[in-house]
Structure 1
Amino acid sequence: MRDAMTLDSTRLQRLQQTPLWDFALTLYAKPGVEAACLTLQDDAGLDVCEVLFHCWLYSSGLEAIPAALKREREQRRLWQCNVTAVLRGLRRDLKAMAATSESVKALRSTIKQAELMAERENLQRWQMWALEASDNRERVANVAEKTSDASKWLRKQLVISPHDSLSENRLKQLPTWLKSLQTLTCQLDPYQGAR
């Protein structure tokens, strides 16, 4: 019998055949996913690119190894804070003025495109991190445990737990976040073609 942690080359091949950007666009277009991602981003403070990255891995029966993930997560967080969030803030700040000014509307549209390009760059960096390791087993592995509730698996990957030191107000929002995670994961087809 095969060791559950031994990286399955079929799963890795499947991952390599589906670019993260394409996967993200497809998943994001599914019913309820956009709203779920925005809830996780705006209310839970999660990086949607990381959420989509974990979904991408899971769809091939893989997961990131937590020790390896820690450093990359910080790099991606810095990108999101210093680039994507700045563009998002500008776009949102201009929303009211864009309603009455064509030039501001055009500027806002350009910023929106730049924000999308920043998100794409972040996803590409996540993908490179997972696939271009000298030894992929150092970064990704087979999903360690099968679960009937993929949202619990995703919550574990993102380190959202009721035991985190959350404020009382944020604790009240936890069921909304869990529902958002469930919305995302019900759209996934885990282990398809990766048995």
Structure 2
Amino acid sequence: MSRADRERQMLDMAEEVFAERGYRAASMEEIAERCGVSKPMLYEYFGSKDGLLTAAIDRSKAELYEATRAAMDRATTPQDVVWRGMLAYFEFMDAHSRSFAMLLQEPLVATPATGEAIEQTRRQQSGLIAPIIAALAPEMPRPAVEAYTEIIIGACERLAVWRLRHPEVTAHDAARYMTDFTWNAMRHHLQAPVSGPAPAPDVPGSEGSPDDLTGPPHRRS
């Protein structure tokens, strides 16, 4: 197995164990055993348990960026950018739900380096969201753009954690809730009137985007 493949395997197993046990209870011994490698090899690659967790966060950060950026690049309107970005975010969270829940619910159990890695992920997503808000509302003061960006990021995180207790709420549903929330919050700032997100196609996981929002996200047409 190449070094890159071995590292990928270690990170996959680490994410799995961290999700199952939580950071404190997870052990390098168990992760090494699941990988079929020695514990010294795990330390050789990552230095420590915290280094392993930080590497796992960094990998997820890069994957999240690529997923949301690629989705947004396919959009044709600002409204479509928001919709596709939200949908990609929640679909990514579904794929990593247990590990991300652990990170969001146990932010103080690891070292400051791990906390900084999580915060970098938030800043990365801020870099995607803030320009969209600024483009939609060019007259909005910069502090307001930053404030709305932080509110949206926080709301997305809490909604992702809440969905763990409500598996019936799909990524498609969550994206609709957040899109509706975003438009309603910013309605009076928008340069051109936007009547709020219209219902997306009634297909779970659909990438369809409404041109116009006309009602609450749970409404179907």
**TM-score computed with the length of structure 1 as normaliser:** 0.33
Rg larger in structure: 2
Q: Which has the higher contact order (CA 8 A, sep 6+)?
A: 1
